[in-house]
Amino acid sequence: GENVEQHPSTLSVQEGDSAVIKCTYSDSASNYFPWYKQELGKRPQLIIDIRSNVGEKKDQRIAVTLNKTAKHFSLHITETQPEDSAVYFCAASISGGSYIPTFGRGTSLIVHP
Amino acid sequence: DTAVSQTPKYLVTQMGNDKSIKCEQNLGHDTMYWYKQDSKKFLKIMFSYNNKELIINETVPNRFSPKSPDKAHLNLHINSLELGDSAVYFCASSHGTSGGTYEQYFGPGTRLTVT
């Protein structure tokens, strides 16, 4: 089955700095890679996703890059703000069939004002 | 409108009891899930269910059982509760194979405490 490794487990940055979270996956058949943000005490929510036919996707201050050859993908947050503080989860999955994503173990991002 | 709802939000119970958590989605999704999130925040999938098949994570004890009365509901029943079952349980739903999008919508979570 799929295995997703996520690093770092904790990331502390100053407001305005950039933050990068990296994930690797094992199953070359995976073709859909979502990122979820979970604020303290709240539910996980999708913030951005990427499919395997795209190398990069941006949405305002967040971007995701995918390297299929190396089987890794990354979340980039620029100009971090205190409200970006949360746990971020990456996931990998195969679209179609019984859709069951495999999640990374999460990264706790702390943005210091 | 609440997309995915769960009840109760908090559940405190004693070891050995049987309890259920209810989940409802009004998004018209065809696939629903149950996740367990432990104190280290790891999201562990327990079940995936659509109107065709139930997929069970083989590491989930058979004390846990999903019950789906219809496409909009997937309840979680837990028998003989143990201390290690204490966690936050999230229900989620997605279009699965249809609709072209695979975003999972999570419920607000149920914090289960077993004493």
State the 10-residue block means of pLDDT for chain A, 113 residues long. 94 98 95 95 96 92 96 97 98 79 96 96
Q: Do A105 and B45 touch (CB under 8 A)?
A: no
**Residue B115: exposed, middle, or buried by beta-carbon count in 10 A (0-12, 13-18, 19+)?**
exposed
Looking at the partner chain, which of B31, B42, B106 has a beta carbon nearest the beta carbon of A99? B31
User: What is the per-residue pLDDT across B55-107, written as a single tens digit (0 to 9) for each?
Assistant: 778 789 999 999 988 889 999 999 999 999 999 999 999 986 555 568 899 99
Backbone dihedral region of A41: left (phi > 0), alpha (psi from -120 to 50 degrees) or beta? left
Q: Do B41 and A34 touch (CB under 8 A)?
A: no
Interface of B with A in 81-100 (CB under 8 A): 90, 94, 96-97
